[in-house]
């Protein structure tokens, strides 16, 4: 408990259920669970993998 928590009110962390995906692993990009794709030994959400590939295209 921090010093300012008394004044500002402590925000309790809410645990959300992981979205149902093909794998129960964490995404390598965003760190959330419920991934759908496995590529090169890492797990990704479809949305995160698309963003990663678009960013890599811009580097070339």
pTM: 0.60
Spatial distance between the Cα atoms of 60 and 37, rounded to a whole number of angstroms: 24
Q: Which residue has the tokens 């890599």?
A: 56
- CB within 8 Å of 25: residues ≥ 6 apart: 33, 35, 43
**What integer pLDDT is reported at residue 15 of this predicted model?**
54
Per-residue confidence of the chain (60 residues) as pLDDT tens digits? 455 566 666 555 555 555 578 888 899 999 999 899 998 899 999 999 999 889 988 887
């Amino acid at each position: 408990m921090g010093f300012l928590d008394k004044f500002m009110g402590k925000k309790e962390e809410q645990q959300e259920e992981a979205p149902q995906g093909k794998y129960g692993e964490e995404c390598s990009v965003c760190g959330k669970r419920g991934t759908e794709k496995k590529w090169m030994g890492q797990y990704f959400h479809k949305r995160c993998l698309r963003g990663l590939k678009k960013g890599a295209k811009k580097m070339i």
